[in-house]
Amino acid sequence: MKNFIYRILLLLFFLIPTSVLAQHQEVSERPEMYKGKGKDSADSKSVLGAFKNGSVQGHFRYFNMITLNEKDLTDYYANAAGGGLRFETAKFHNFQFGISGFYIFNIGSSDMTIPDPQSGQYNRYEIGLFDLEDASNKKDIDRLEELYLKYNYKKSSLIFGRQLLNTPFINLQDGRMRPTGVEGLWAEINEIKGTKIEAGWLYSISPRSTTKWFDVGETIGIYSAGLNPDGSPSLYSGQIHSKGVALLGVTKAINKRVKLQAWNMLTENVFNTAMLQTDISFPLKGNSSLMASAQVIKQDAINNGGNVNQSETYFSKGAGSLSFGAKLAWKNKEWGTSLNYNRITAQGRYLVPREWGRDPFFTFLPRERNEGFGDLDAIMAKVNYSFPKSGFKTSLAAGYYHLPDTKNYALNKYGMPSYTQINTDIRYTFTNNLKGLEAQLLLVAKLNNGETYGNSRLIINKVNMVQSNFVLNFHF
């Protein structure tokens, strides 16, 4: 324990001088890089012209991750490097074609094929930089990420094929080397003033930290499956039957101050998730503003939750969940602060496959999820600061997450004790001769606040740990 305290003090040495941070605390992959950037001039006169006038973007990425666990439990480190290219044609009769791919190399890491001798647990975080399905794979880690045909109509678009998508429930979750990809039909409609409509049908997903593309049902269980409500091991991996996911989202600007979001995700034969969110802004003096947000998420099982055999199902028959949250924030050109709260009621576990994306909760912090839990209370405060004209952005966030007891399997799927988490994020964007290069340092501490019953499986890679993430991105 003394060794762990020293590590916490070392982390705090970095935390205290940087009472700051970026509004979005993920290890950013700059989602805007995935937007179509083909030339917006008039349609090309030929297919050849569309290709010649297309746009090319490139990306190189280096990622160093180190996780220090409690004394006598295994520590881990990993170094990953990779790169990729993306091409999108210019328009031809309003059509565009896009393709992208990425490769990754393990350039020096812990042996992730060996479990921790005391707990029997395998590595949780660093393996996510590579191939989750093959911990020994160090070289052949590549993926065709995008392959699509896009049709443009005025301000709207329709895309069919493999693409990178951001929604509240299926998103990039880009905190490793590569994000989650999806395959299907996706529409974005912007023809109604002040209204954005997004809708689609997805039939295949390539989760973050994998190289293959899977049917929707196959993706559920690639990551850790946790426990059934009765405490038995969840056996749904490879056993879920679903034809795909239908999503519908409507974002409406009521006026300059009020915005409404409504989303529904129907996972065929498994479950339905609906979300309603309201965001209100209040302009203040001195180029600052006050913002308030509220969110409600309701879930219900469909049929047998994916499998008639309830020991092999994902969402128990007749089960459901209810979550609600609130956020109060203030910001100006340099500073941003927020106080965030989320509650998942005791009605049941909030369940969305971790393979599909990160939590949409206001209290989300990178390196932990609140998916899989019920009867949860979370409160998180964040302070952000951008140094004027310097290229530096910094953030400090701290949250307390009160979970059910680790033996309350019906509401605690992954055996996670209550915890406190502290994140510090420092980013720098280079200019002049190094334009295109970005650096980020994310430091994470998670402290135990719950009962672990002397079981090291409930501690390793979960609580009483510190982690550093250093990332270099070069975009061109």
3-state SS track over 294-352? EEEEEEEECCCCCCCCHHHCCCCCCCEEEEEEEEEEEECCCEEEEEEEEEECCCCCCCC
Q: Is the pLDDT of residue 334 over 70?
A: yes
CATH of the domain at 454: 2.40.160.10
User: With contact defined as beta carbons under 8 Å apart, do 88 and 97 qualify?
Assistant: yes
How does residue 26 score in pLDDT terms, banded at 50, 70 and 90? low
How does residue 30 score in pLDDT terms, banded at 50, 70 and 90? very low
What number of other Cβ atoms are within 10 A of residue 283's Cβ? 10
CA–CA separation, 163 vs 394, rounded Å? 31
Structure-token pair, residue 68:
């220090």
The CA-to-CA distance between both ends of the chain, in Å, stands at 46
pLDDT at 175 (0 to 100): 87
Per residue in 424-468, pLDDT tens?
Answer: 999 999 999 999 999 999 999 999 999 999 999 999 999 999 999
How does residue 3 score in pLDDT terms, banded at 50, 70 and 90? low
Per residue in 232-291, pLDDT tens?
Answer: 999 999 999 999 999 999 999 999 999 999 999 999 999 999 999 999 999 998 899 999
Q: What is the mean pLDDT of residues 172-201?
A: 96
pLDDT at 27 (0 to 100): 56
How does residue 37 score in pLDDT terms, banded at 50, 70 and 90? very low
The model carries a pTM of 0.91
DSSP 373: B
Question: What average pLDDT does the chain have?
Answer: 92
DSSP 92: B
Burial class (CB in 10 A: 0-12, 13-18, 19+), 227: middle
Look up the domain containing 370 and give its range: 2-475
CA–CA separation, 232 vs 239, rounded Å? 16
Structure-token pair, residue 194:
């002040």
CA–CA separation, 103 vs 363, rounded Å? 33
* Residue of 322, 364, 327 whose CA lies nearest to 344: 322
CA–CA separation, 452 vs 417, rounded Å? 7
Give the count of domains, the chain: 1
pLDDT at 404 (0 to 100): 98
